Amino acid sequence: MEETISLKEIFEVLKKRLLMIIVFILGTALIAAIVSYFILTPTYQSSSQFIVNQGKQDQDEQYSADKIRSDVEMINTYNVVLKSPAILDDVIDTLHLPYSAGALSEKIQVASEENSQVVTVTVTDEDPAVAVELANTTVEIFQDKIADIMNVENVSVLSEAELSPSPSPVAPNPMLNIAIAIVLGAMVGVGVAFLLEYLDNTITTEDDIEKKLGLPVLGVISHIKDEDVRGNHYNFQPNRSKRGGYDGA
């Protein structure tokens, strides 16, 4: 026999476990705030842009769509070369960095817009000044060495990375982390609430008797507190007096 649950029962479960759900939400939000503000190290990004062509353009030569397409296809090759040890080893030697080319490669992101010859080099580091220096040095060394590697001489820097007076970290994002934690806390709290309700096999209402035992309820013995008896004591006296007077008639 399949059991169904109504919206009223759902709201009753949520109301019954509301305090627990709120505790889950506040707990996860607090943990996310502590981790974001005190544990995770802020990281900063800095970007530099350059443009490359496959070769020098003859003034009398028409710049056709095929040549543009060929130049765009070469961008993927430049992206690989830029993150290769041939470039990054020189960057490490120039800046006297304490890590390897592989570790430096993880800090660098190279991207190009679709159908564009503009390449953006983005560097992420815990120090904003180091991120700026890494981005500019990487592009400079790439500009110097790409002529020997691929016989390309027309690499032009469009914009250099600059250090802003008050740089803002790109990660972590405390507000986003807290918002995600609140959603997760609510989901976990609601899930635990329904799990506890499912595991709760105690009989508390007349409906529980009919559902779990399959027996009709013939009567209910109510629990009366001493305060209720004392509070209603004088209400029964007039009834008794009237009944006694009627019997004496």
What CATH number did the domain enclosing 86 receive? 3.30.70.1130
87 and 51 belong to one structural domain:
yes
| 214 CA to centre of own chain | 48
Residues 54 and 144 both lie in one domain? yes
Q: Please indicate, yes or no, whether residues 244 and 218 belong to a single structural domain of this protein.
A: yes
One pLDDT digit (tens) per residue for the chain, 249 residues: 455 678 888 898 899 999 999 999 999 999 999 999 999 999 999 999 998 765 555 544 455 566 666 666 677 788 889 999 999 999 999 999 998 999 999 999 998 877 677 899 999 999 999 999 999 999 999 999 988 887 777 788 999 999 999 999 999 999 999 999 999 999 999 999 999 988 887 777 777 777 777 777 777 777 777 776 665 554 544 444 444 444 443
Rounded to the nearest 5°, which phi and psi values hold at 118?
A: -90, 125
Is 164 inside a domain boundary? no
Residue 181 maps to a domain:
yes
**Residues 86 and 99 grouped into a single domain:** yes
In this structure, the answer to whether residues 51 and 151 fall within a common structural domain is yes
Q: Is residue 69 part of a domain?
A: yes
Is residue 169 domain-resident? no
Indicate the burial class of 212 (C-beta count within 10 angstroms; 0-12, 13-18, 19 or more). exposed
pLDDT of 127: 95
Give residue 189's pLDDT: 96
Task: Tell me if residue 119 falls in helix, strand or coil.
Answer: strand
Residue in this structure with the two tokens 């592989």, named with its chain if needed: 102
> Distance between CA 62 and CA 180 in Å, rounded?
54
Residue type, 173: N
- If asked whether residues 96 and 140 sit together in one domain, one would say yes
Residue 218 sits in which domain range? 206-248
Same domain, 148 and 98: yes
User: Do 66 and 48 share a structural domain?
Assistant: yes
Same domain, 115 and 184: no
Beta bridge partners of 111: 120
- Domain membership of residue 166 (yes or no) is no
> What residues contact residue 238 under an 8 Å CB cut-off, 6+ apart?
none
Q: Are residues 58 and 90 in the same domain?
A: yes
- Shared domain for 219 and 140, answered yes or no, is no
pLDDT the model gives residue 129 = 95
Q: Are residues 54 and 152 in the same domain?
A: yes
**Per-residue model confidence (pLDDT) at position 76:** 79
Question: What's the number of domains the chain is made of?
Answer: 3
Spatial contact of 200 and 12, defined as CB atoms under 8 Å apart: no
- Please indicate, yes or no, if residue 168 is contained in any of the structural domains: no
